[in-house]
Amino acid sequence: MTHTVRIWDLPTRLFHWTLAASVIALVVTAKVGGNAMVWHLRLGYVVLALLVFRLVWGLVGGHWSRFGAFLYSPARLVRYLRGAGHPEDAVGHSPLGALSVFALLAVLAAQVGTGLLSDDEIAFSGPLTRFVSNAVVGQATGYHKEIGQYLVLGLVALHLLAIVFYVVVRKHGMVRPMLHGDKELPQPVAPSRDDLASRIAAVVALALGAGLAWWVSTLGAAAF
């Protein structure tokens, strides 16, 4: 007997796919350059808003979307890697998947942050450059164009390879639950809350992120 359980609430699913599309678009616009950099900057603000939303949602969102649900101890990670994991390791983010999530969020935050401090000395200057020294701007620009870019690409590639491994080798359905939210599980577990009230809370969290991103975008204009 299997149990159908709501694991990924709608706000988490929308965040996941919107972030994925935004990161792809950021990479494309960065490679194209020229006038596409206008959209690169705009997409940077979108990702900033999404990251703020995820930070809030990691505290108040559905059960399996909260950071506390996949903040595993090193000992539990080791047991999972040895094949002696806890049954709930396969419900939401596994211990290994959790590391990937935290790493990707941290790298994206660093990439957005350094982007706001970057200056290509041609047509683009981040809104926060006026608050720091030229040396800091140079370091941020160098990281954003080189190290940060390749860290993001590397982690995205690892994320995709991990999905292929779990789907093809371990026969774990990972894509469908992130589309419709539910998982078929051998044992009942606590579902994620995904009702009207939680979705309204998600809209408020997203509005907070969007407001912060908009405010940051105005800081550059304030210098003129």
Quick: pLDDT tens for 123-177: 678 999 999 999 999 999 999 999 999 999 999 888 888 888 777 776 676 788 8
* Segment among 49-58, 118-127, 199-208 with least mean pLDDT: 118-127
Burial class of residue 135, CB neighbours in 10 A (0-12, 13-18, 19+): exposed
Report the alpha-carbon distance of residue 166 to residue 152 in Å, rounded.
21
Quick: pLDDT tens for 74-110: 999 899 888 887 888 888 888 888 998 999 999 999 9
Backbone phi, then psi, for 119, in 5-degree steps? -150, 120
b/e per residue 4-14 (b: at least 16 CB within 10 A): ebbbbbbbbbb
Report the alpha-carbon distance of residue 25 to residue 79 in Å, rounded.
38
**Considering the entire predicted model, what is its pTM?**
0.92
Question: Which residue carries 């809370």 as its tokens?
Answer: 201
